[in-house]
Amino acid sequence: MPQLYLASASPRRAELLEQIGVAFEKVAATVDETPHPGEGAEAYVERLARAKAAMGRQVLAGAADACVLGADTCVVLDDRLLGKPGDRAEALAMLAALGGRRHRVVTGVAVADGARCLSRVVATEVEFRPLLPGEAERYWDTGEPADKAGGYGIQGAGAVFVRGVEGSYSAVVGLPLCETAELLSAFAIPCWRYLGLTTAQP
């Protein structure tokens, strides 16, 4: 069975893989995350996911059986990509813009071995309730928004802002589990293996 490596420092993506019983190790894969001019959200996250998987494979060049999973997530509001806020002011501006509105969260995931790279992109609609005066500031003080695309974490304290979700919840967290499982299956990496179960084989 191939050895899976996660090319991400995100603890949330690691937790999601553990949730579905997939064994993995981590590999460092740093890529330039600057969007290309005119690049749409779907193209952007897929490009970065594939780049991270490819970089991980390059780092593990000596491991012939290594498969690398890369992923990237961005928040889209009015066709504007919202990444991780650079500072408090940017985070507060993001939250103010998201309040009382719907936005898209787009996540790309890619898996690569030495011969191929397969990828998927998942878009989810998220609706925020209006934010009350001072809420964004108090939320920033929790420390949670600093490393989150769009300045919030749906799986954490930021969940109080979320009125509804249409689509994949796990994709908003950082990894669409249904699509990820399908990709891993294409590389003969089963889910549930470390939950005392095995996936049914076709």
> What positions carry a catalytic annotation?
72
Cα separations (Å) of 166 from 102, 119, 124, 162? 10, 22, 6, 11
172: helix, strand or coil: helix
Phi, psi of 22 (to 5 degrees): -100, 125
Q: What residue type is 88 in one-letter code?
A: R
Q: Which distant-in-sequence residues (6+ apart) come within 8 Å of 183 by Cβ?
A: 69, 109, 110, 111, 118, 119, 120
Say how far apart CA 160 and CA 100 lie, in whole Å: 13
Residue 44 and residue 171: Cα distance in Å, rounded?
Answer: 15
List 128's β-bridge partners, or say none: 162
CB of 119 closer than 8 Å to CB of 62: no
Residue 7 main-chain phi, psi, to 5 deg:
-90, 65
Q: Which residues contact 135 (CB under 8 A, 6 or more apart)?
A: 95, 161
